[in-house]
Amino acid sequence: MLRRLAVVGLGLLGGSAAKAARTRGLVREIVAVGRRAERLAPALDDGVVDRATADLVEGVREADFVLLATPVATLEALLSEVWQVAEADAILSDVGSTKSAIVNVAERLTCSRALAFVGGHPMAGSEQGGYAGARPDLFDGATVILTPTERTDPHAVKRVSEFWEALGGRVVTLDPEVHDRVVAAVSHLPHLVAFALVDAAARVDPAAFGFSGRGFADTTRIAASDPQVWRDIFLSNREALSESVAAFRSALEDLERLIAVRDATGLEATLARIRRIRCAL
């Protein structure tokens, strides 16, 4: 059981972590830190957090577990601030969807002060963002990727793993760069492509949307995602994303070429090969 959990950023993920920790009785005290106190009021009202503050120092003080859950673009600066004020034996983790950058920052900070940080990425989401969308069961069965390096304290990895497992997650560990490549391929690239698909249809003929069916609805559902969140993710993971876009472009070109030369046999074989991969998921 944790003595005090500080959640910095009480949005969908931070709010859900607080709710899950409270519901499951994992923590004696939960402190929410947010820039705007009025945004934290609902969590105080419903008893999910015990204290709420806009003061980072006050919020993080005496916490034995600090979870950084602000937008990914703000995490690097936030981690530097938290690093100065956290207790010497505190465990720090985050929920950002890209990991190389934040892990690099943590390793640089370790040179000046030895603190335990473990990068984390709970793969859970919802169309409804913010604390209003937070649910105590958000992590039930969700994959939570931790990205320790050879320099990460194994004890801290164990503590963070136990935290997410207690919240219902299935914890796996990945190298931070492998993490970024993998999520670029199965999450960031599909989001970018979904946005481009909607834009392409609008460019071909705005009337086309009147004839769209379930296939279009499914492939472009995630183009309704939050523009600010995805701006940050695309920018934060731009290198790995660029590699995925290159792989995608090359896959698309292979299909186009088979169509252009009317290679029916080759086209069917390629579609069948890809279909087998998709069906095996």
- Using CB under 8 A as the binding rule, the residues of this chain from 109 to 128 that contact a copy of itself are 123-125
User: DSSP letter string over 144-183?
Assistant: EEE---TTS-HHHHHHHHHHHHHTT-EEEE--HHHHHHHH
Cβ proximity of 96 and 118 under 8 Å: no
Rounded alpha-carbon distances, angstroms, from residue 217 to 53, 186, 275: 41, 18, 20
* Minimum CB distance to a copy of itself, residue 165 (Å): 17
Q: Does 104 bind a copy of itself (CB under 8 A)?
A: no
Q: Show contacts with a copy of itself in window 180-199 (CB under 8 A).
A: 181-187, 189-199
| Tokens describing residue 94 | 């985050």
* Minimum CB distance to a copy of itself, residue 214 (Å): 8
Q: Does 203 bind a copy of itself (CB under 8 A)?
A: yes
Those residues whose C-beta lies under 8 Å from the C-beta of residue 130, and which sit 6 or more positions away, are: 11, 12, 15
Comparison of 1 and 277: residue with beta carbon closer to a copy of itself: 277
Going residue by residue from 122 to 161, which x/- string records binding to a copy of itself, judged by CB under 8 A?
A: -xxx-----------------x-x----------------
Comparison of 111 and 277: residue with beta carbon closer to a copy of itself: 277
Q: Does 217 bind a copy of itself (CB under 8 A)?
A: yes
| Tokens describing residue 88 | 């010497």
Q: Show contacts with a copy of itself in window 15-54 (CB under 8 A).
A: none
Q: How far apart are CA 151 and CA 43, in angstroms?
A: 36
Q: How far apart are CA 281 and CA 278, in angstroms?
A: 6
Q: Show contacts with a copy of itself in window 58-97 (CB under 8 A).
A: none
* Minimum CB distance to a copy of itself, residue 251 (Å): 4
